Chain A
Amino acid sequence: QVQLQESGPGLVKPSETLSLTCTVSGGSISSYYWSWIRQPAGKGLEWIGRIYTSGSTNYNPSLKSRVTMSVDTSKNQFSLKLSSVTAADTAVYYCARVVAVAGNFDYWGQGTLVTVSS
């Protein structure tokens, strides 16, 4: 059974960079797309972007200028960096596996709350 676990600081100061890592266990990270999705409290889901195990990326155009994703296949991990954060970036951040053809998310991490505050 594939499991995903997000990790990283729960508190980030405004204008700084949010950094999260997702560790995949129970299966290989190879040959899949992996995504980050976020959800502000009481609101809906927003796709941030995805990365393939080759390192190829696609980002949400509304966040593209601030987002960087990377992958470390040796550690079965992929990561998210979001720069110049503001309070509007406060949300629960999820990592998820993308099913190649259908484009749905079949495995999700439990989510991690990141608060942007000084």
Chain B
Amino acid sequence: DIQMTQSPSSLSASVGDRVTITCRASQSISSYLNWYQQKPGKAPKLLIYAASSLQSGVPSRFSGSGSGTDFTLTISSLQPEDFATYYCQQSYSTWCTFGQGTKLEIK
């Protein structure tokens, strides 16, 4: 299977901060990388697909970049509703896999 490793596992930040989360694949996955946001007790919500495409309805402060094995999710100016857990997911392989998650907490 393709292993996905996110860093950091947790992150403390303040409203208005710029935040970057990294996801690394154990092999090249081209641009088959997606990002999700999950709040407690809720299903994950798709933010970014194909590494850099913004899902409809998602605020433009979210952006994604990367290809091959290294990817980033950036939130340009944190809002109170952005504090959540973020997951990357590779869809290069039929057996898709997720990163372990990055918990974004309020400083």
Query: What is A's interface to B at a CB cutoff of 8 Å?
Result: 44-47, 50, 58, 60-61, 94, 96, 99, 102-106, 108-111
Contact = CB atoms under 8 A, between A and B. Distances in A.
A103 B91 contact: yes
Nearest to A6: B43
A110 B39 CA distance: 12
Interface of A is mostly: loop
A61 B95 contact: yes
Nearest to A64: B95
Interface size class of B (residues with CB under 8 A): 20 to 34
A39 B55 CA distance: 23
Interface of B: 1, 32, 34, 36, 42-46, 49-50, 53, 55, 87, 89, 91-92, 94-101
A103 B50 CA distance: 9
A105 B98 CA distance: 12
**Most A C-beta atoms less than 10 A away, residue of B43, B89, B100, B101:** B43
A108 B44 contact: yes
Given A104-B49, A104-B91, A46 B98 contact: yes
A65 to B, nearest CB: 15
B99 A44 contact: yes
- For the complex of A and B, 9 pairs with smallest distance between CB atoms: A103-B91, A108-B43, A104-B34, A104-B49, A45-B98, A102-B49, A102-B50, A58-B94, A47-B96
